[in-house]
């Protein structure tokens, strides 16, 4: 059956199955999980909340997928969110208006990406170290901009990015869907995706083969910075304030987890943006599911960790090979005749 | 602001030159990890200025070794007293003994230490359980016997403010069967988590129609939750009562707009009572109590929230 599926669907099938399984699991604990209704011309329901709430991690995961495909990693995305959010709030606070606030926030994200990309591609620092610099130092920059307080604003236009709706769909959801589709098309409808994968497999070989590895490497970090800027704008707009201490805190780890749940290898090479986004949705479904189910908060992280372990174990090729082996072995012992038929 | 501080400090320094009796106090602050901490620093400096005390300020940037180094340097300078906001509870014995040998009284601010209590003069702080209790008592009076389903936004799981503020609130509503906590989850003391968790509470409780009140362990989570309630088409402050703790400026703004109902103050003015105790000690050696509890004052919309907001917004919150 499965060979009838188009390659993209076949690639993301495990993630889709996992997402459905997690949804079923949550529905068992919270029966109203799949309820949807229209209120004030916008869709309301737990599922909509998940699609909206997964925006930051999904956006970070999109950028992170590209970075990881080049055998890199970007630890600074959470901090970049805090900086871009602080810049946006500062612009609004000084009365510059929504347009300049968004533009400056995006520009800040691009600069952060450029900094990381430069350190990795030109100076040749290992990605984990290069991005660690901005991860730790950047929060200080964000705190300098906000002067250590939560910088609030009251601009309905900017708040729209966090809590508005387009045709009933929350704006954050629209932003991550559009960003994901745009980047995926850019990668797959051109040779860019292939070149990025080539760098991840062997940067030197791809450079010798004529790929401009330096420029492409910088570009993927810039793309990651751009995605982080979008995420920063959304979180800042959502709470109508820039919280330099907490915005995006540890989200880089959730983003990496989303990429891993999406079945992408941390060793670079082949990647799937769609699978990473599904990974982000799985994480958010678990988070929201835990909240809806009403467990005591001490269990939150344990439940999340247990589910993630199960998902990753089930995705492990070695584990699955083992399972298939023992299943076949078991059948052989029980009924050798049927094995022959299976083999046919 | 900075110029003002500079001028004031200059004035204080020149005053010191005139009056030889001016006391010198060293203050080892944890750092500035939160707005509240920044406000505490600002108020300590203000209080010292008002009393003509020369304050030597040291920011430890969340590191105990920096605090120990700062205390040793205060001892070497021969200050008249040391204020210490300890970053952790353990590991203070030897440096506190050094201060004791040098006969310099040490006053702990806000947090406590595990050392023997003869190693410091006194500790000034708030009673976290009591704060929760004040919030709970407010709700008991507000609903006046009517049934009330409460949702609770806890602080960071396992942190002492979260545990104690939860206990205090539960103590206050114990015996009032009309009030029941139906959902309780951590919002990590942040706005964004407060909003996200409140959204799920609203989904889970019939779109919010079944919720009568929200109790948040800090104001920031309450501010986030207020936005979630608004976006769900409900009216915070009326459809859902909001009570929280800390009394930061933004909750007064919400209160002035009718979105919040009550907050319990965790005063950042720990230095005031500390300086009072020190003044008495310097004067005739009066030993204060070992723990000076600051007032956990309840603020409601009747307390002119707009004015409170104006008072607080420049303290560095």
Q: Which residue of A has its CA nearest to B156?
A: A297
Chain A residue numbers with beta carbons less than 8 Å from the beta carbon of B250 are 150, 152
User: pLDDT, tens digit, for every residue of B69-105?
Assistant: 999 999 999 999 999 999 988 999 999 999 999 999 9
Of B166, B285, B258, B270, residue with least CA distance to B218 = B166
pLDDT digits (tens, 9 = 90+) for A211-223: 999 999 999 999 9
Q: For residue A230, give the 3-state DSSP assignment.
A: helix
Residues B167 and B198 in one domain: yes
Residue B122 located in a structural domain: yes
* Helix (H), strand (E) at residue B83: strand B81-84
Whether B87 and B147 share a structural domain: no
Average pLDDT over residues A221-239: 97
Domain containing B213 equals 128-266+301-312
Tokens, residue A80: 């970049």
State the nearest Cα–Cα gap between B49 and chain A, in angstroms. Answer: 23
Q: Which residues of A touch B201 (CB under 8 A)?
A: 291
* Nearest-by-Cβ selection for A297 from B185, B223, B232: B185
Residues B54, B184 within the same domain: no
Q: How far apart are CA A253 and CA A244, in angstroms?
A: 18
d(CA A172, CA A163): 8
Query: Residue B293: inside a domain, yes or no?
Result: no
B205 and B178 in a common domain: yes
Q: Does an H or E element contain A336, and which?
A: helix A336-343
CB B120 within 8 A of CB B106: yes
Name the A residues in 127-156 with CB < 8 Å from any B CB. 147-150, 152
Inter-chain contacts counted by CB atoms under 8 A, chains A and B:
79
Domain with residue B156: its CATH number is 3.40.50.2300
Note whether B159 and B253 are same-domain residues: yes
Domain count, chain B: 2
pTM, 2 dp: 0.88
For residues B234 and B102, membership in a common domain is answered with no
- How near does any CA of chain A get to the CA of B204, in Å? 6
Q: Are B121 and B281 in contact (CB under 8 A)?
A: yes
Specify whether B116 is located in the same domain as B87.
Answer: yes
| ipTM of predicted assembly, 2 dp | 0.89
B179 lies in a domain?
yes
Summarize pLDDT for A137-176 with one digit per residue, the tens: 999 999 999 987 889 999 999 999 999 999 999 999 999 9
B218 and B282 assigned to the same domain? no
Write the CB contacts of B69 (distance below 8 Å, at least 6 apart in sequence).
none
Confidence of residue A316 (pLDDT cuts 50, 70, 90): confident
A44 φ/ψ angles, rounded to the nearest 5 degrees = -130, 140
Same domain? B173 vs B119: no
Q: Are B262 and B273 contained in the same domain?
A: no
Q: What is residue A212's three-state secondary structure?
A: coil
| B134 shares its domain with B238 | yes
Cα first-last separation, chain B:
15
Q: What is the pLDDT of residues A27-62, one digit of tens each?
A: 999 999 999 988 888 889 999 999 999 999 999 999
Let me know if residue B6 belongs to a domain: no
B238 and A84 in contact (C-beta within 8 Å)? no
Report helix, strand or coil for B194.
Answer: helix
CA end-to-end distance (rounded Å), chain A: 16
B174 lies in the same domain as B307:
yes
Report the 10 Å Cβ neighbour count for B163.
17
For A114, the 3-state DSSP assignment is helix
Segment among A191-195, B20-24, B83-87, B220-224 with least mean pLDDT: B20-24
Please report whether residue B172 resides in a domain. Answer: yes
Whether B316 sits inside 8 A of A292 (CB atoms) is no
Measured distance CA(B248)–CA(A326) in Å, rounded: 61
Buried b (16+ CB within 10 A) or exposed e, A148-167: bbbbbbebeebbebbbbbee
Q: Is residue B317 part of a domain?
A: no
């Amino acid at each position: 059956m499965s060979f009838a599926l188009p390659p993209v669907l076949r690639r993301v099938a495990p993630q889709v199955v996992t997402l459905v399984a997690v949804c079923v699991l949550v529905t068992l604990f919270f029966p109203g999980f799949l309820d949807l209704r229209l209120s004030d011309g916008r869709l309301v329901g737990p599922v909509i909340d998940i699609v909206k709430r997964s925006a930051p991690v999904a956006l970070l995961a999109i950028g992170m997928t590209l970075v990881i495909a080049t055998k890199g990693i970007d630890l600074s995305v959470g901090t970049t969110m805090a900086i871009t959010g602080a810049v946006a709030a500062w612009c609004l606070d000084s009365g510059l208006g929504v347009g300049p606030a968004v533009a400056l926030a995006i520009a800040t994200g691009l600069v952060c990406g450029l900094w990381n990309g430069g350190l990795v591609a030109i100076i040749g620092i290992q990605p984990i170290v290069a991005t660690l610099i901005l991860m730790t130092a950047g929060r200080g920059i964000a705190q300098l901009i906000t002067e250590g307080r939560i910088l609030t604003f009251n601009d309905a236009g900017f708040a729209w990015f966090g809590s508005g709706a387009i045709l009933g769909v929350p704006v954050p959801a629209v932003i991550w869907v559009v960003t994901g589709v745009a980047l995926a098309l850019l990668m797959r409808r051109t040779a860019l995706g292939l070149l990025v994968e080539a760098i991840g497999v062997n940067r030197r070989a791809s450079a010798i083969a004529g790929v401009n590895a330096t420029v492409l490497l910088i570009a993927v970090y810039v793309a990651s910075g751009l995605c982080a800027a979008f995420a920063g704008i959304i979180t800042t707009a959502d709470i109508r304030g820039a919280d330099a201490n907490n915005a995006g805190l540890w989200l880089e780890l959730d983003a990496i987890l989303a990429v891993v749940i999406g079945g992408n290898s941390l060793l670079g090479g082949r990647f799937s943006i769609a699978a990473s986004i599904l990974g982000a949705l799985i994480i958010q479904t678990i988070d929201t599911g835990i909240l809806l189910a009403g467990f005591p908060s001490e269990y939150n992280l344990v439940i999340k960790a247990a589910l993630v372990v199960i998902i990753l174990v089930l995705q492990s090729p070695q584990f699955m090979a083992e399972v298939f082996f023992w299943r076949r072995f078991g059948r052989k012992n029980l009924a050798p005749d049927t094995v022959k038929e299976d083999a046919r | 602001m900075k110029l003002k501080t500079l001028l004031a400090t200059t004035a204080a320094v020149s005053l010191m030159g005139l009056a030889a009796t001016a006391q010198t106090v060293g203050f080892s602050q944890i750092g500035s990890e939160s707005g509240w901490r920044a406000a505490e620093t600002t108020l300590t400096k203000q209080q010292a200025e008002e009393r003509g005390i020369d304050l030597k300020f040291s920011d430890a940037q969340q590191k105990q070794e920096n605090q120990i180094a700062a205390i040793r340097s205060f001892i070497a300078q021969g200050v008249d007293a040391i204020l210490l906001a300890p970053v952790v509870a353990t590991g203070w014995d030897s440096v506190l003994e050094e201060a004791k040998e040098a006969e310099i009284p040490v006053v702990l601010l806000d947090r406590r230490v595990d050392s023997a209590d003869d190693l410091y003069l006194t500790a000034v702080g708030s009673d976290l359980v009591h704060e929760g209790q004040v919030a709970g008592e407010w709700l008991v009076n507000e609903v006046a016997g009517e049934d009330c389903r409460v949702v609770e936004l806890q602080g960071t799981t396992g942190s002492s403010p979260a545990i104690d503020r939860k206990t205090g609130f539960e103590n206050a509503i114990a015996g009032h069967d009309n009030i029941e906590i139906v959902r309780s989850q951590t919002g990590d003391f942040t706005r964004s988590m407060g909003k996200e968790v409140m959204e799920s509470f609203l989904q889970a409780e019939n779109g919010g129609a079944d919720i009568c009140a929200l109790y948040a362990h800090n104001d920031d989570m309450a501010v986030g939750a207020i936005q979630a309630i608004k976006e769900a088409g409900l009216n915070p402050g009326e459809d859902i009562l909001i009570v929280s703790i800390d009394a930061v400026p933004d909750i007064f703004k919400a209160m002035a707009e009718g979105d919040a109902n009550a907050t319990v103050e965790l005063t950042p003015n720990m230095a005031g009572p500390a300086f009072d105790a020190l003044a008495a000690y310097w004067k005739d050696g009066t030993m204060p109590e070992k723990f000076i509890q600051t007032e956990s004052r309840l603020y409601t919309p009747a307390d002119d929230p707009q004015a409170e907001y104006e008072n607080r917004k420049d303290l560095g919150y």
